[in-house]
Structure 1
Amino acid sequence: MTSAPDRIIKQRDIIDRTALADKIEYIVAEDGPQRCRPQILELLQGALADGRAEIKRRLGESPSQGYRASAEQAFLVDQIVRLIYDYVTVHAYPAANRSASERIAILAVGGYGRGEMAPHSDVDIGFVTPYKRSSWTEQVVEAILYLLWDLGLKVGQSSRSLDETVKMAQQDLTIRTALLESRFVWGDRAVYEEAALRFWNEVVANTAPDFVRLKMAERDERHKRMGDSRYVVEPNIKDGKGGLRDLHTLYWIGKYIHKVSTASDLVHVGLLSVEEYNRFRKAENFLWSVRCHMHNITGRAEERLTFDLQREVAEQMQFADRPGRSAVERFMHYYFLNAKTVGDVTGLFLAHLDEAMAQKGRRFIPSFNRKPRKLNGFQLDRGRLALPNVQFFVEDPVRLLEIFHLADLHGLEIHPSAMRTAQRDARLVDKAVQKDPRANALFLDILTSRRDPETVLRWMNESTIFGRFIPDFRRVVAQMQFDMYHHYTVDEHSIRAIGLLADIESGKLKQDHPLSAAIMRNIVSRRVLYVATLLHDIAKGRGGDHSVLGAQVAETLCPRLGLSAAETETVAWLVRHHLLMSATSFKRDLADFKTILDFAQAVQSPERLKLLLVLTVVDIRAVGPGVWNSWKRQLLSDLFEATEEVLRLGHKQRGRDERIASKKSKLGSALQLSPEKFAHFAKTLPDAYWIAEPDDIIERNARHLLKNEGTELAIDACYYPDRGATLVTVFAADHPGLFYRIAGAIHLAGGNIIDARIHTSSDGMAIDNFLIQDPLGRPFREQGQLDRLARNIEEALTNRAKLMTQLDAKPKALRRADAFKIAPSVLIDNQASNRFTVVEVNALDRPALLNNLALALFESKVTLHSAHIATYGERAVDTFYATDLFGAKIESKTKLKSLETRLLEAATVRARVKTKAA
């Protein structure tokens, strides 16, 4: 159990307990012990508010002193608890001759017991009595708790006898951990000391290995729950990987085994070196600073460093903008470096622990029985790669690469002491090593390994060898991308992409990526693809187009790695164009043949097309969980297949007329109508419809139209698994503004349109197909959801005023999206299509954005033919294929300018109620 922290300066400026105690005595004397509670509560409320204000003021003056602020907060609560206890036991419920059972010790447990609290942390306290609770102790405990609650404190409390305390600690790991950090606050010290003695003798004794195993399993489960990476861009400061809880776990383990009273004692018992402890304390202080600022800003116990908080905390901690990097990006870069330090210290701590426990015959990390191998001077220590002496890397710095190559080649782990030495000697990787052909060959073998390159590259990154050997990579280590799209830092994203590439090649992801898996078996330039994947984002954060700058890096680095001139050219091309395929697939109409031709002209070779597809797939999937879906897979596959046909044959194998005829033939066979009736039906559908829609949607549309023949409005909604979305078809009399009303109705039903195709039959009926997902990128599947979609659309098309009112009443965007400033832009291109004017709008995503843009198009008197909606976190990119009212491209400069102005206004203003339009 823990002693109180002794690191508070000018304590009485925070709270003067003696003076407050005198005031309480005066109030009791004036009003009597039974009527003075309101005045005492008011006095304590003022003292708590003043104390918090003083701690906040000190943190504002020294914004990086979070560790001190956490101790001051615990000190403040200590004094409040002591004042309350004295008032309750002396005045509210005095007991002149207390029995042996009428004794209470108040213990601070958990973080409060450690003497560390953020401004709005829970107050975790335990009431311990020697025996079963008496009526007096129950009254006292209840009175103390009610006063704490009335002060607005969130209290986690327990009330147990000594026997109950021991029994519960033996059975429950959480209770045992809380008591491990318990600290005497006030009351009967003898009871506390007996509790401490029994805890160590009856709970802790001979259970250290079991405790370590359980705490490490608990840690691993917590990491999985929080994203299993210390490089997520909205990290949980307390419980996330690389957060405060990881440091606490080290302290708990050290305390449990060696009974240390402070984290600095971990040095004395050999679990951390002095240098490692200093890194421990520096990281802990930074994380506490961030956490305290977060609590102060939000006014609550907020532990997740969300985007909106990142800006404010960066400002509070006095980070400033620098050329090419904003203050918030510099702050988050520093955060991730500290999170990495937490990981480094954890690994070293566990290595020391493993060695110490192994010497006692109680191994924590399991040993490995492997046969000796040819290891070029390296040794095996319990199945892990180790060094024969501490100068081994100094003798030949290329060995700093070789150790990772051997680990990959033989499937070995690296001994923590060898990893520590590698970190120490990383400075030996100078320009001579960078240019060494042997070193470059070793690195390229690791990068292109058919085993587990992701794990080994991550080890290299943790040891800093990676960044030393590839200086351009070092510039993106711990670099966040301040947006809601990317979930990881740039280095973590790139390493994850390499891992995904290896998994696709090995067949592990064949079910998710059948086309990419097939391509990987046939590509000629395998190592080109791995190098391009590593380098695709390597120039981020340099203030220019990272694709162009990255290609320049590739042109310099690839020859050093041993790639030929042809391979270097291909890598540079892939890096320069790594966003081209996704941009074309998600933002352009793939049914417009000009799109395919322009893309094919940019790619130029089937091999490049294959490489670009696989690179695009791993780039998207490595962004984070939930970003990849079957809709994106289908679009990329469609673009690949159409482009591959053009590149292989020099033209489309089947011309426009042949494709239309083929689709009509398939539909005729499926419907089994009379030739006359089918011919009449097929004639009403425009050629663009047959080109744009796939066979299965054409058949579903046809059955829907035939079933509702003669009606003016028919709506069909179904789950469409091939695209991971919901397909909504609207069959209605065509009229201006139909699209924006449908878009508004879908928004009100909670749906996001991801793709839209708008067609008009020869008899004046609109056949509009929409692909829809919920805000989390999932399809609507339940019948109730599908019915609500259809009902909302029907109401919108028959009662327009109600739609506009409902849209205006919709809640505003979430605050975290407001942390981003995106200047809306409108790009109008008359060259991207032979038939349409292509309009692309970039804007901050928000509710009803598409509806507002569609309304602007309607007011500009343009006809919409298809819409393609892509979102990248907080950024929306909506592309429209449009013509004027006569079906021609929009050529008038005046009209184009007016269209641009209206769309910019719609992209800027959240909602517009237009009575006339309604």
Structure 2
Amino acid sequence: MNQVRIPRQRAIIDRRALAETLDGIAAKGGADARGAVVETLRDALDAGRDELRRRLADKPHAGHECVAGHAFLVDQLVRLIHDHVVACDYPAANRSQGERLAILAVGGYGRAEMAPQSDVDIAFLTPTRRAPWCEQVIEAMLYYLWDLGLKVGHSSRTPDDMVRMAKGDVTIRTALLEGRYVWGDEALYEEARRRFWADVVTGTERQFVAEKLAERNARHKRMGDSRYVVEPNVKDGKGGLRDLQTLYWIGKYIHKVRSAAELVDIDLLTEQEYRSFRRAEGFMLAVRCHLHQITGRAEDRLTFDLQRQVAERMNFTDRPGKSEVERFMQFYFLQAKRVGSLTGVFLAHIDEQFAQKRARQGLLAGFRARARSVKGYRVFGGRIGAPADDWFRKDPVRLIEIFRVAEAEGLEIEPATMRQADRDSRLITAKVRNDPRANALFLDLLAGRNDPETVLRWMNEAGVFGRFVPDFGKVNAQMQFDMYHHYTVDEHTIRAIGLLNRIEKGELAEDHPRSTRLIHKITSRRAAYVAVLLHDIAKGRGGDHSVLGAEVAEELCPRFGLGENETDLVAWLVRYHLLMSATAFKRDLTDPKTVEDFVGEVQSVERLRHLLILTAVDIRAVGPGTWNSWKRQLLGELYDVAHERLRLGHMHRGRRERVAARKDATREMLGDDAALVERHADEFGDAYWIAEPEDIAALNLRQFAAARRLDHDLSIHCEVYPSRGATLVSVIAADHPGLFYRIAGGIHLAGANIIDARIHTTRSGWAVDNFLVQDPLGQPFHERDQLERIETAIDDALANRIELVPRLAKRPLPRSRARAFDVRPRVIVDNEASNRFTVIEVNARDRPALLNRLARALFECQLIVHSAHVTAYGERAADTFYVTDLLGEKIIAGPRVAGIETALLEAASDQRQAELEDA
């Protein structure tokens, strides 16, 4: 793209010395001459790559120099091979006009940007088709290149072929756009170049831009459609190298520029923007080179397991609150963000140029529509712009105002004005941040009724957001090094604000029915939006981000103009924004103590409403698939019981009333089989009737009655449970020690993940266990053969027909990249969370059949599991068990608790997993 000076070229490859060596081999001749040539060239290739590897290790950010060095190395090899083939293999003393050959580098090789494992894209140009000498030389050259182990993409065309094919294929046109003369007949190359620009490019500029932008949009969609995905593709991802190359292609195609630097000369980029362009490009090229060297292949995806290695190679180090890999990825995303800003400004300028050209050439060429004025801003063609270059300098509060007006009026911001805002964002000082008018405008934008998400993203791209709210600037482009969060903190936050806006407008009523109703009942919608903005504001500070974030909220809310009550509410919401999800997903909601503890923290219906809404948008904004009907159901259940307790001051129904009501509801669901309730009700204790909803109770009673009638010792039933987004697996068997862990093992062997389990024992000694399971992608099992596979696996596990431990250990994790993370097992034994049970929570790396291993450890500790609740956060699993000893009592004794902790830590450890796999 730009000419890069390559220092000490002969240390990479000395073409003159190699040419003499090859001449010497040819002069000796012999049967093995070709093999000697290949060996000599291979040694030169390996030595050149080693030299470039050393240089990158010494200067790990020198991306431009590394890719130019690899292109230079291949150039010299191609030239050597060409000269050797023409001189020694197919010499022709008096070649005709048709026996000419030009070699072009195209694509990335044409730009002189080659990562260590990049393909070598070559175009051979010949004056005519099927010239025997040319075909022989081309074939011989390709065999040499292949023998060197290079991945070669090649074509052989005449100038006529080139023009015809380029006209019909934008990919070929783009490759030739970057065509670079390497060797051979230079006059032939110049003829082809002249014809390409005259016959292909001229008159097709608008079509090329449209096709490249459509291609870019399709690529973004394929790659996740965000530049903030936490495993980005350095080459093809949004904000990556391909986006920078697209700018260059468009600029070159329309304005015939030969390098990216010339984009400044034609006013498509400023000098400062060009420097940003080169800085971002150089960093990403360096990252790509490191990826290729680490993996030994053309790897462009910055996966979790590679991020740490690249961070180390590029000399990033830990800082308080941020690991080396988080600092590296934050820098990466800042570059990707800059690429996005450049792309937006650049393309808008191109669009304007085309529009001006259309206006000059059209029927109304002499007519100029007048811009209107909105609050002093110029509005034309759906875009708002600053009326003068010193507009923001005269009053820096306007840097906030323009975004507020754009959101309120549904306008885009002119590219030139975005450029101004970016340039002048440094005018936002403490005086502007504390200006009441600026804060009122910001709050109106944040809680805007139209599309605050998009406008806040523009504000962030222009650098205004982070300067006006410096705490937000600190989390700009900050990734969270885990497999749960899909986006950087700033992108997650802005997405959550957009989701809140969509819920308020009723656009997500199907997925969020309660939140859609409740958002119109809260007393302060401003508090709701500010809480979403601030809920993760303190991430990366080295402490509990919820506690630190509440302190930030207490400082910022008064500045934004919120009253004392609103400030207290926002600070509380930020402090406890994880409370509702932790309670719903990790605790037994049928245990009265769970509800009492939750209500004790929440204390008001207003807080409860806000907390449900914040929890919903926070989970959904984590990434695709993180919100599902299972989570909606659990959060809804917790909201309903907590709302009843807060509204009435007590639970509306005591234990006896709740059991009676559940039995009545079950009778109604059973219809003609209602008598089953009377026949078997005494078998099932009160705990069962409180824990199980009436639809599962009805199913269990029918299954239990059928098993008793048929005198079956084991009954297994599987069916899809749509309201929970899972598959229900009900197992009725003669109760015996270890039953739970064996059932769990069978379910895991069938390829299912357990997300919830309720374990009951009837008075006559029958186990009635209900499991909710999903596939590895978080979806229910639907197909009959899948359900039968689960039933068979459980049956085999309980009958001891299979060896559970070795078979489970060999099951691969659905996401093996979890090994890239350091997740130390942690066990918490809590005797305060329930009045009847000891609650044990185990946090560990997610792995095959973790629940089975933990359940077995509990069995070996002589504990009875009454319910289990399983939550996965990417690579980390959090499994919670409600247990008693064999006498139905809590585990209080210190030595006993310590023994349980030790057993569970061993079961959850990576070392134990490795031992099982080896066995």
TM-score class, shorter: over 0.9
Distance 1:481 1:136, change over 3 A: same
Q: What is residue 441 of structure 2 aligned with on the other side?
A: 442
Instruction: Judge which range, 218-227 or 854-863, deviates more.
Output: 218-227
Q: Distance in 1 between matches of 2:40 and 2:353?
A: 53
Contact 1:852 1:912 in 2 (8 A): no
CA deviations on 1:404-423 (whole Å, 9 max, x unpaired) are 11111111111111111111
CA deviations on 1:717-742 (whole Å, 9 max, x unpaired) are 22221111121112222111122222
Q: What is residue 339 of structure 1 aligned with on the other side?
A: 336
Q: Distance in 2 between matches of 1:362 and 1:228?
A: 33
CA deviations on 1:349-402 (whole Å, 9 max, x unpaired) are 2243334334433799xx999996552221124432112211111111111111
TM-score with structure 2 setting the length: 0.96
Q: CA deviation at 1:910?
A: 5.5
Distance 1:216 1:752, change over 3 A: same
Q: CA deviation at 1:504?
A: 0.5
Q: Distance in 2 between matches of 1:891 and 1:866?
A: 19
Instruction: Judge which range, 267-276 or 476-485, deviates more.
Output: 267-276
Contact 1:848 1:911 in 2 (8 A): no
Q: Does 1:889 align with 2:890?
A: yes
Q: Distance in 1 between matches of 2:514 and 2:506?
A: 11
Q: Distance in 1 between matches of 2:719 and 2:882?
A: 25
Q: CA deviation at 1:135?
A: 4.1
Q: Secondary structure at the match of 1:304?
A: coil
Q: How does 1:107-146 map onto structure 2 within 5 Å? A: 107-146=104-143
Contact 1:238 1:245 in 2 (8 A): yes
Contact 1:528 1:567 in 2 (8 A): yes
Q: Secondary structure at the match of 1:770?
A: strand
Q: What is residue 407 of structure 1 aligned with on the other side?
A: 406
Q: Which amino acid letter does the alignment assign opposite residue 879 of structure 2?
A: D
Q: Does 1:85 align with 2:86?
A: no
Q: What is residue 245 of structure 1 aligned with on the other side?
A: 242
Distance 1:741 1:914, change over 3 A: farther
Q: Distance in 2 between matches of 1:704 and 1:105?
A: 80
Q: What is residue 828 of structure 2 aligned with on the other side?
A: 827
Q: Which amino acid letter does the alignment assign opposite residue 144 of structure 2?
A: L
Q: Secondary structure at the match of 1:882?
A: strand
Q: What is residue 18 of structure 1 aligned with on the other side?
A: 16
Contact 1:112 1:124 in 2 (8 A): yes
Give the alignment partner of residue 277 of structure 2, picking from 280, 284, 287.
280
Distance 1:474 1:672, change over 3 A: closer
Q: Does 1:605 align with 2:604?
A: yes
Q: Does 1:269 align with 2:276?
A: no
Q: Distance in 1 between matches of 2:584 and 2:746?
A: 26
Q: Secondary structure at the match of 1:360?
A: helix
Give the alignment partner of residue 218 of structure 1, picking from 215, 218, 224.
215
Q: What is residue 698 of structure 1 aligned with on the other side?
A: 697
Q: Does 1:837 align with 2:835?
A: no
Distance 1:84 1:799, change over 3 A: farther
Unaligned ranges ≥5, structure 2: none
Contact 1:494 1:533 in 2 (8 A): yes
Contact 1:385 1:412 in 2 (8 A): yes
Q: How does 1:182-193 map onto structure 2 within 5 Å? A: 182-193=179-190
Q: What is residue 324 of structure 1 aligned with on the other side?
A: 321
CA deviations on 1:754-784 (whole Å, 9 max, x unpaired) are 1111111222221111111122212222222
Q: Secondary structure at the match of 1:708?
A: helix
Q: Which amino acid letter does the alignment assign opposite residue 758 of structure 1?
A: I
Q: Distance in 2 between matches of 1:676 and 1:345?
A: 72
Q: Which amino acid letter does the alignment assign opposite residue 229 of structure 1?
A: S
CA deviations on 1:610-663 (whole Å, 9 max, x unpaired) are 100000000000111111111111110010011111111122222222222222
Contact 1:60 1:316 in 2 (8 A): yes
Instruction: Judge which range, 683-692 or 294-303, deviates more.
Output: 683-692
Q: Does 1:154 align with 2:151?
A: yes
Q: What is residue 794 of structure 2 aligned with on the other side?
A: 793
Contact 2:666 2:677 in 1 (8 A): no
Q: What is residue 260 of structure 1 aligned with on the other side?
A: 257
Q: What is residue 663 of structure 2 aligned with on the other side?
A: 664
CA deviations on 1:823-851 (whole Å, 9 max, x unpaired) are 21110001101111000011121222222
Q: Distance in 2 between matches of 1:296 and 1:674?
A: 69
Distance 1:699 1:676, change over 3 A: closer
Q: What is residue 8 of structure 1 aligned with on the other side?
A: 6
Contact 2:668 2:674 in 1 (8 A): no
Q: Does 1:551 align with 2:550?
A: yes
Identical positions, percent: 61
Q: What is residue 563 of structure 1 aligned with on the other side?
A: 562
Q: CA deviation at 1:105?
A: 2.0
TM-score with structure 1 setting the length: 0.96
Q: Distance in 1 between matches of 2:728 and 2:98?
A: 71
Q: What is residue 731 of structure 2 aligned with on the other side?
A: 730
CA deviations on 1:168-219 (whole Å, 9 max, x unpaired) are 1111111110110011222222322222111111110111111111111211
Q: What is residue 309 of structure 1 aligned with on the other side?
A: 306
Q: Which amino acid letter does the alignment assign opposite residue 21 of structure 2?
A: K
Q: Distance in 1 between matches of 2:133 and 2:745?
A: 65
Q: How does 1:618-697 map onto structure 2 within 5 Å? A: 618-672=617-671, 678-697=677-696
Contact 2:408 2:449 in 1 (8 A): no
Q: Distance in 2 between matches of 1:122 and 1:715?
A: 55
Q: Secondary structure at the match of 1:283?
A: helix
Instruction: Judge which range, 496-505 or 548-557, deviates more.
Output: 548-557
Contact 2:906 2:912 in 1 (8 A): no
Q: Distance in 1 between matches of 2:368 and 2:591?
A: 62
Contact 2:676 2:701 in 1 (8 A): no
Instruction: Judge which range, 335-344 or 35-44, deviates more.
Output: 35-44
Q: Secondary structure at the match of 1:361?
A: helix
Q: Which amino acid letter does the alignment assign opposite residue 652 of structure 1?
A: M
Q: Distance in 1 between matches of 2:268 and 2:119?
A: 30
Q: Which amino acid letter does the alignment assign opposite residue 203 of structure 2?
A: N
Q: What is residue 484 of structure 1 aligned with on the other side?
A: 483
Q: Distance in 1 between matches of 2:39 and 2:546?
A: 62
Contact 2:504 2:519 in 1 (8 A): yes
Q: Which amino acid letter does the alignment assign opposite residue 863 of structure 1?
A: I
Q: Distance in 2 between matches of 1:85 and 1:565?
A: 79
CA deviations on 1:472-495 (whole Å, 9 max, x unpaired) are 111111111111111111111111
CA deviations on 1:783-830 (whole Å, 9 max, x unpaired) are 222222222111111126522221233347855222211221110001
Contact 1:369 1:383 in 2 (8 A): no
Q: Secondary structure at the match of 1:356?
A: helix
Q: CA deviation at 1:159?
A: 2.3
Q: What is residue 615 of structure 1 aligned with on the other side?
A: 614
Contact 2:580 2:635 in 1 (8 A): yes
Q: Distance in 2 between matches of 1:362 and 1:248?
A: 29
Distance 1:630 1:151, change over 3 A: same
After superposition, the CA RMSD in angstroms is 2.2
Q: Secondary structure at the match of 1:726?
A: strand
Q: Secondary structure at the match of 2:237?
A: coil
Q: Distance in 2 between matches of 1:17 and 1:329?
A: 43
Unaligned ranges ≥5, structure 1: none
Q: Distance in 1 between matches of 2:221 and 2:27?
A: 57
Q: Distance in 2 between matches of 1:369 and 1:892?
A: 87
CA deviations on 1:43-102 (whole Å, 9 max, x unpaired) are 222111111110010011111101110000111111122222233333333444444433
Q: What is residue 164 of structure 1 aligned with on the other side?
A: 161
Distance 1:93 1:695, change over 3 A: farther
Distance 1:88 1:687, change over 3 A: farther
Q: CA deviation at 1:154?
A: 1.8
Contact 2:373 2:379 in 1 (8 A): no
Q: Distance in 2 between matches of 1:712 and 1:910?
A: 38
Q: Distance in 2 between matches of 1:485 and 1:501?
A: 21
Distance 1:676 1:311, change over 3 A: closer
Contact 1:357 1:363 in 2 (8 A): no
Q: Distance in 2 between matches of 1:594 and 1:612?
A: 20
Contact 1:605 1:647 in 2 (8 A): yes
